[in-house]
Structure 1
Amino acid sequence: MTRSTRAPQAARFPLWLLVCASLTALAPLSIDMYLPSFPALAADLGVDIGRVQLTLGTFLVGLAAGQAFYGPISDRFGRKPPLYAGLLVYALAAAGCALARDVDGLMLWRFLQALGGCAGMVMARAVIRDRLEAHESARAFSSLMLVMGLAPILAPIIGGAVLGVFGWRAIFWLLCGASLLILWFVHRYMDESLDHGKAMPLHLGHVLSNYGELLRDRGFVGYSLSAGCAQAGMFAYIAGSPFVLIELHGIDPSHYGYVFGTNALGLIAMSQLNARLVRNRTLDHVLRGALVAPCLAGLALAAAVLAGVAPLPVLLAGFFVFIASLGCILPNASALAMAQQGHRAGTASALMGTLQFSLGTLAGAAVSFWHDGTALPLAVVMGACGLGAVLMRVFGHAGATAQGAG
């Protein structure tokens, strides 16, 4: 693939971008597909639903920790070798989840599953940055989210159907098979995107120096954490919504996927709107406007629950606005964070993912540990995440502006 063909191919949604989308979709599939099984899983393993929610927390910890490992390796050896290793680990761990006999074993296997699956997230962002510049990257991320958005629509529906017929263990066997299929697509259809002439040395001092420079880059950190706070609100929703919707408000587990899918449709619609908006506007301008939605939605949810005026329609409306807005926020914030990091795209992608999923882990854990039989933990955490996303964007924009002036 030559440089002259990059932009037209991105516009046609090339096959390499479709493979990137499938790699990125593996994590939401791993999360969303088993959400309807929380009550059944808790009953089968003889634990309360709070303990089952911690299996999601351990998965998020694995996603956060593993990404820092893959980035420097990919900047040295290329994008494909870490993908082969990560997807094989994921497949084996998914099989371990299916065979788990207690919740502690399930937590361990979920952690290992995340360590394998996060390779795809790091490599997908790095490949896009390898091939495209900032504005093209934002549009590519928006196109990628069109495919990614299908995961939270289809995954809970498929998970609910599989749960009803075969039980919760079959969900993990299905994930195992999906990862092996993606591995074949990577081998067959994804070309190596790293220019080996620009490969970076894999020495501990050099790796730590790169991470240190990135952490001192206010633009990179601010935009990464802005997306991370918004995404953390989504993970809070993922952790808390099965209880709030299924247990508290009586939605049938088989119908939970339709509620989840409606939010994902909103995210898809906003991601495609974003691809149009960034054609004539700066990425930061679009991001600034989009961040108003989760901030107001999250704070309104928290206020409504505290005031005791949060019936199911109010909750559903707040959830929809918050999740849909991510379709504009995540592509632009990711592109802005990666804009100046082409020389170390793998390392930057890894650190961005680690920062974001660390926030997601904290948000999910906060909802799980604060479980009090009401919707309050979920609403308050989502409100805090929406506000944090706005503040981090201000921090990142100030840093990027100062860097540009310097």
Structure 2
Amino acid sequence: MKNDSIIFIACITVFLAQLGITMYLPALPIIAAAFSSPPQDISLSLPAFLIGMAAPMLVWGSLSEKYGRKTILSVSLLLYAICSAGISLVYETEMFILLRFLQGLGASGMSVMSRIMIRDRFSGALLSKSLSWLSIAFVVSLGVGQYLGAILLASLGWQAIFISLATATLLLFLVLLRLPSSNALPSYNSLSFFATYGRLLKSRDFLLPALAGGLGYGVIITFNTCAPFIFQESLGWSASEYGLLGWPISLSYLVGAWLVNRYVIRKGNIFFILLGLSILLFSCTVMLLGSILLWPLLLWIPYCFGVAGQAMNYPVSMAIATENAPIKGPYAMALCGFMHQLMAAVIGIIASLLPGKYIWMSTGLMCVLAMAALVTILRTRQ
């Protein structure tokens, strides 16, 4: 495949995988009522999805070296589509959460393969620039997914959200079948599975920037987990009003990703990662104040700025981590994705257990994560 085709397929793949996180968020209270389940139980469907995304990432990376990028991506697309269709047919909380976990397994392969295909073709600042296209696809999923999910919920019911995901993913699978395979060369790594990833984890130059990206991602996951109940139940917003919030959030992420795409070659990776994390920490601090005062504007407006900061941090931190990795090939990118999804799943579980009436607990967690990300990346400069 040509570079442009790889970037296009990778962006659509990331877009669909992230829709599994954002698209059903406006329906969470409705699904909880339909299942006669406590909101906290249904909220666990998000960390279940994230655990599913994290669990097999290292395996996907190794399998892609053996069977090829296109084959593994095709398998993950099919799994994602089948599970999405199955979710629309269940009415039990346990089965809903289980299928969300399995859907996450498919999203895992989609996510890691899109990044590996980009890593195969680019390096240096060009890698950050190319990964920023994936960030743009991610941000579009934030707004389009949340807004489209609210529309489908209002017009066709929550099941239509997952049916549409299944249909779109199956169409991408059919398109992928018609494209030639990537010509990525094997890395000829002689180490075993555990020795390979163990060596990467021992590398400070890989580990610290990878952690910074994951902690920043945790801020987004905390908001996504808690926001539907904060805005719809604690603050009295409707599902449609909450769905509209996705547009300014998407625009903010788009701005951050575009700045990286446009200026990273000129300004450099370190400039953008420090700027992004500083903006993220400041925004979370203002949100903590807003949650104490119960001012909605001081919750979502600063969050939009924080999202822009994370949009700068994420592709650059991943590029720095994989560029500095002591082992080449798909392994560093797969481990980076695994760490981020595992951290997101743990953070999502913690956020889902926080009492909704104490909004400051959620924003406080976001502040802690943003501070930890900035401190971590500053340690790489020592």
Indicate the SS of the match to 1:194: coil
1: CA distance, partners of 2:56 / 2:381: 28
2: CA distance, partners of 1:109 / 1:190: 32
Residue 374 of structure 2 is matched in structure 1 by 390
Residue 60 of structure 1 is matched in structure 2 by 50
| 2:282 is the alignment partner of 1:296 | yes
Bigger drift between 186-195 and 103-112 goes to 186-195
Matches of residues 130-279 of structure 1 in structure 2 within 5 Å? 130-189=120-179, 191-196=181-186, 198-200=187-189, 206-279=192-265
For residues 62-110 of structure 1, the C-alpha deviation after alignment (integer angstroms, 9 at most, x for no partner) is: 1111212211111222211111211111111112211112111000000
1: CA distance, partners of 2:307 / 2:136: 14
Residue 99 of structure 2 is matched in structure 1 by 109
Matches of residues 83-94 of structure 1 in structure 2 within 5 Å? 83-94=73-84
Residue 347 of structure 2 is matched in structure 1 by 363
2: CA distance, partners of 1:387 / 1:175: 35
Residue 46 of structure 1 is matched in structure 2 by 36
The one-letter code matched in structure 1 to 2:308 is: A
Q: 1:314 aligns with which of 295, 298, 301?
A: 298
1: CA distance, partners of 2:47 / 2:134: 25
CA contact (8 A) 1:55 1:107 kept: yes
TM-score by length of 1: 0.90
CA contact (8 A) 1:153 1:260 kept: yes
Q: 1:126 aligns with which of 87, 106, 116?
A: 116
CA contact (8 A) 2:229 2:356 kept: no
For residues 312-336 of structure 1, the C-alpha deviation after alignment (integer angstroms, 9 at most, x for no partner) is: 0111122112112122111111111
CA contact (8 A) 1:130 1:193 kept: no
| 2:6 is the alignment partner of 1:20 | no
Q: 1:96 aligns with which of 71, 86, 92?
A: 86
2: CA distance, partners of 1:343 / 1:187: 31
How far apart are residue 139 of structure 1 and its match?
0.7
CA distance 1:45–1:225, change in 2 (3 Å) = same
The one-letter code matched in structure 1 to 2:221 is: F
For residues 109-152 of structure 1, the C-alpha deviation after alignment (integer angstroms, 9 at most, x for no partner) is: 00000001111111111111110112111111122322332111
2: CA distance, partners of 1:89 / 1:375: 36
For residues 334-390 of structure 1, the C-alpha deviation after alignment (integer angstroms, 9 at most, x for no partner) is: 111111449533221121111111111122111111224231232011111111111
Indicate the SS of the match to 1:189: coil
2: CA distance, partners of 1:389 / 1:221: 12
CA contact (8 A) 1:297 1:321 kept: yes
CA contact (8 A) 2:196 2:327 kept: no
Q: 1:284 aligns with which of 250, 270, 295?
A: 270
The one-letter code matched in structure 1 to 2:364 is: V
2: CA distance, partners of 1:145 / 1:189: 24
Bigger drift between 14-23 and 140-149 goes to 140-149
1: CA distance, partners of 2:67 / 2:326: 16
How far apart are residue 295 of structure 1 and its match?
1.2
How far apart are residue 193 of structure 1 and its match?
4.0
The one-letter code matched in structure 1 to 2:208 is: G
Q: 1:331 aligns with which of 312, 315, 322?
A: 315
List alignment gaps of at least 5 residues for structure 2: none
List alignment gaps of at least 5 residues for structure 1: 399-406
| 2:365 is the alignment partner of 1:381 | yes
Q: Percent identity?
A: 24
1: CA distance, partners of 2:56 / 2:116: 15
CA contact (8 A) 2:57 2:337 kept: yes
Indicate the SS of the match to 2:44: helix
Indicate the SS of the match to 1:127: helix
CA distance 1:199–1:77, change in 2 (3 Å) = farther
1: CA distance, partners of 2:147 / 2:326: 38
CA distance 1:300–1:345, change in 2 (3 Å) = farther
